[in-house]
Amino acid sequence: MKHLIIAALGTIGTLAAVTAAQAATTTTFNVRITISAACDISTTAPTDVNFGTQPSTATNVDNQGALNVNCTPSSPYTITLDNGQNGTDANSRKMSNGTALVPYQLYRNATRTAADVWGSTTGTGGNVYSGTGSGTTQSVPVYGRVPSTNFPAGSYADVITAIVTY
Amino acid at 47: T
* CATH of region 39-165, choose from 3.40.50.2300, 2.60.40.1220, 3.90.550.10, 2.60.40.1090: 2.60.40.1090
Question: In a 3-state reduction of DSSP, which class is residue 14?
Answer: helix
Tens digits of residue pLDDT in 67-121: 999 999 999 999 999 999 999 999 999 999 999 999 999 999 999 999 999 999 9
Q: How many CB atoms lie within 10 A of CB 63?
A: 15
* H and E: helices and strands count for the chain: 1, 9
| Residue 96 one-letter amino acid | S
Under 8 Å CB-to-CB from 36, ≥6 apart: which residues? 72
3-state secondary structure 102-147: EECEEECCCCCCHHHECCCCCCCCCCCEEEECCCCEEEEEEEEEEE
* Domain chopping of the chain, boundaries: 39-165
DSSP 116: G
Q: Is the pLDDT of residue 126 over 70?
A: yes
Q: What is the pTM of this model?
A: 0.81
d(CA 82, CA 104): 13
What is the model's pLDDT at position 4? 45
